[in-house]
């Protein structure tokens, strides 16, 4: 205990979304909490850049599963609606196939039916069944898999859970599952591509992830005014109001241990901070490899499979193009091969899929009047230390391919209108956020790395050292790391009795 005020103390390493939420939850329960962050502001990968009036979210751009945000707000004594001005987006996506034909995903079932039937006559009824099954997967997975912790093997391997996994089609590949409903490649692509947001290939992902398509179309896809970074800003403000102290530009050199306990952290500038509990929100592989004594865990984690990485471009244009929607996905010609190149060869496909976000259509403050802020993400293989990639060449190739594809949509002059440009490749992500292999998604979400098989949220030897974030259960994504914060906070409170 802190002798000065009697409050239990916690140190949180990393001010990502999960770290902020954990700090706020503990402070709400009377803890004295300090968050140390290596960068100049909070948010982690859910960051923001503002350059010459152009505003860019640097990480997440999709607001899904609002009930998980609402639960966090309620646990902190707040209402989500008082902090986030949410706007539902419909159509959710503009999909552009290799032949430049378009498909708009929408919750308007009449409009969706017309598009589906034009691509594959008779498929709309099967789509309704697919979405219904996806919704069922969501309603089963949320309480039984996502929203609960698994702290022993019998909690995960038992008749009830085995039955659940069968109902969730967990042993069926998503691509094969979608093929049961849709014969045409275009519809298969349209209703599996969201696996990329989990750092997965639909040819490797379990069919349970059909819940992503279902929740987007039934519960909606939203945009918070000001961008996704608003979530980090508001959450940080709530935490500060609860008494959390944030220390920025303070990289951690070491998590200090004494016997079987973590005693605090040593900062790069030589300062030592002590606490009764330490919570690591930094990249899990980095924590075990660089901040803790070597006990073999870092090697075990390193042998696990990581999600893909991304080559990113942030372009500020001096004009807008009506061809673009808020969320755009441009597909490769050979959908399957594009994933094989990313996940099998750890490179960028010759013809990659890529995603574009154009927020000024939703929020005019994202760019100067009449201008545009474009966010472009190209999935690529993560960094390979055994066969290092030529990232400048990959980045240049990605840029050329994007411009060529957009020219086919009537934007041949786009390059001449780029007034602000920032490009990031996996080594940049690794340097800024200490991401193992530059993987933006952390550990992969394959079946063998889910739930109990994902690294635990408490250290096996230092029982007052906890972990939150993308590589712990339940996994990557802003709403799911909020769940990791809740699970860790509840475990801390239960195990400390504080």
Reply yes or no on whether the pLDDT at 198 is more than 90: no
Residue 340 β-bridge partners: none
Q: What is the pLDDT of residues 8-54, one digit of tens each?
A: 999 999 999 999 999 999 999 999 999 999 999 999 999 999 999 99
Distance of alpha carbon 253 from alpha carbon 127, whole angstroms: 52
CB 329: neighbour CB atoms within 10 A?
A: 22
Name the average pLDDT for the chain: 96
Determine the average pLDDT of the residues in 213-222. 93
Phi, psi of 487 (to 5 degrees): -65, -45
Q: What is the pLDDT of residues 155-181, one digit of tens each?
A: 999 999 999 999 999 999 999 999 999
- Measuring CA to CA, which residue among 433, 454, 459 is closest to residue 198? 454
Phi, psi of 341 (to 5 degrees): -65, -40
One-letter-per-residue 3-state SS of 72-87: HHHHCCCCHHHCCCEE
Q: Taking a C-beta distance cutoff of 8 angstroms, is the pair 123, 359 a contact? A: no
Q: Taking a C-beta distance cutoff of 8 angstroms, is the pair 22, 488 a contact? A: yes
Among 117-121, 184-188, 330-334, the range scoring the smallest mean pLDDT is 330-334
Cβ-based neighbours of 265, under 8 Å, separated by 6 or more: 11, 13, 36, 252, 253, 254, 255, 256, 272, 273, 278
CB 232: neighbour CB atoms within 10 A?
A: 26
Q: What is the pLDDT of residues 230-252, one digit of tens each?
A: 999 999 999 999 999 999 999 99
Q: pLDDT value at position 333? A: 86
Q: pLDDT value at position 3? A: 44
> What percent of the chain has pLDDT above 90?
96
Q: What is the pLDDT of residues 251-308, one digit of tens each?
A: 999 999 999 999 999 999 999 999 999 999 999 999 999 999 999 999 999 999 999 9
Distance of alpha carbon 147 from alpha carbon 431, whole angstroms: 32
Reply yes or no on whether the pLDDT at 1 is more than 80: no
Cβ-based neighbours of 181, under 8 Å, separated by 6 or more: 123, 126, 127, 129, 130, 187, 191
Determine the average pLDDT of the residues in 210-238. 96
Q: pLDDT value at position 224? A: 98
Distance of alpha carbon 462 from alpha carbon 304, whole angstroms: 22
Determine the average pLDDT of the residues in 363-381. 97
Distance of alpha carbon 96 from alpha carbon 365, whole angstroms: 27
Crossing angle for the helix pair 109-119 and 123-141, to the nearest 10 degrees: 120
Reply yes or no on whether the pLDDT at 331 is more than 80: yes
**Three-state DSSP class for 160?**
helix
> What percent of the chain has pLDDT above 70?
99
Reply yes or no on whether the pLDDT at 423 is more than 90: yes
Q: pLDDT value at position 58? A: 97
**ω before 358 within 30° of 0 (cis)?**
no
Q: Which two tokens stand for residue 300?
A: 């075990």
**Three-state DSSP class for 465?**
strand
Q: Taking a C-beta distance cutoff of 8 angstroms, is the pair 253, 266 a contact? A: yes
Q: pLDDT value at position 2? A: 54
Q: pLDDT value at position 199? A: 87
Phi, psi of 133 (to 5 degrees): -65, -40
Among 2-11, 208-217, 389-398, the range scoring the smallest mean pLDDT is 2-11
Confidence tier at 482 by pLDDT (50, 70, 90): very high
Write the DSSP symbol of residue 455. Answer: P
Crossing angle for the helix pair 17-28 and 478-496, to the nearest 10 degrees: 40
Determine the average pLDDT of the residues in 66-74. 97
Write the DSSP symbol of residue 183. Answer: -
């Amino acid at each position: 205990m802190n002798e000065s005020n009697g409050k239990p103390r916690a140190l949180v390493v990393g001010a990502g979304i999960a770290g902020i939420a954990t700090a706020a939850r503990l402070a709400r329960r009377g803890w004295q909490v300090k968050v140390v962050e290596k960068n100049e502001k909070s948010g982690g990968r859910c960051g923001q850049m503002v350059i010459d009036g152009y505003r860019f979210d640097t990480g997440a751009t999709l607001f899904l599963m609002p009930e998980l945000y609402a639960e966090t707000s309620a646990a902190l004594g707040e209402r989500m609606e008082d902090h986030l001005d949410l706007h539902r987006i419909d159509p959710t996506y503009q999909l552009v196939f290799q032949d430049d034909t378009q498909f708009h995903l929408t919750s308007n079932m009449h409009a969706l039916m017309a598009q589906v039937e034009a691509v594959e006559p008779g498929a709309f009824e099967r789509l309704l069944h697919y979405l219904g099954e996806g919704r069922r997967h969501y309603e089963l997975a949320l309480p039984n898999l996502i929203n609960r912790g698994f702290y022993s093997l019998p909690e995960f391997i038992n008749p009830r859970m085995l039955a659940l996994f069968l109902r969730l089609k967990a042993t069926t590949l998503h691509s094969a599952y979608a093929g049961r409903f849709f014969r045409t490649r275009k519809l298969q692509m349209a209703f599996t591509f969201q696996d990329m947001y989990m750092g997965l290939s639909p040819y490797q992902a379990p069919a349970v992830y059909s819940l992503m398509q279902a929740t987007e179309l039934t519960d909606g896809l939203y945009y918070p005014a000001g961008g996704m970074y608003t979530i980090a800003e508001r959450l940080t403000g709530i935490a500060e109001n609860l008494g959390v102290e944030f220390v920025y530009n303070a990289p951690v050199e070491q998590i200090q241990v004494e016997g079987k306990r973590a005693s605090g952290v040593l900062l790069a500038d030589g300062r030592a901070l002590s606490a009764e509990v330490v919570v690591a929100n930094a990249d899990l592989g980095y924590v075990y490899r660089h901040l803790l004594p070597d006990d073999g865990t870092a090697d075990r984690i390193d042998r696990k499979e990581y999600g893909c990485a991304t080559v990113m471009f942030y372009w500020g244009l001096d004009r807008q193009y009506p061809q673009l929607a808020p969320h755009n996905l441009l597909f490769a010609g050979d959908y399957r091969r594009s994933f094989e190149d990313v996940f099998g060869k750890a490179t960028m496909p010759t013809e990659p899929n890529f995603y574009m976000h154009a927020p000024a259509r939703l929020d005019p403050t994202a760019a100067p009047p009449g201008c545009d802020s474009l966010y472009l993400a190209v999935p690529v293989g993560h960094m390979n230390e055994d066969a290092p990639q030529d990232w400048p060449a990959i980045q240049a190739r990605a840029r050329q391919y994007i411009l060529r594809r957009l020219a086919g949509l009537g934007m041949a002059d786009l390059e001449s209108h780029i007034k602000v440009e920032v490009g990031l490749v996996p080594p940049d992500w690794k340097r800024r956020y200490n991401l193992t292999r530059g993987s933006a998604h952390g550990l992969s979400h394959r079946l063998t790395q889910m739930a109990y098989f994902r690294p635990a949220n408490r250290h096996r030897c230092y029982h007052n050292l906890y972990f939150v974030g993308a590589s712990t259960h339940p996994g990557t994504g802003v709403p799911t790391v909020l769940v990791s914060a809740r699970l860790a906070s509840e475990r801390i409170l239960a195990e400390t009795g504080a």
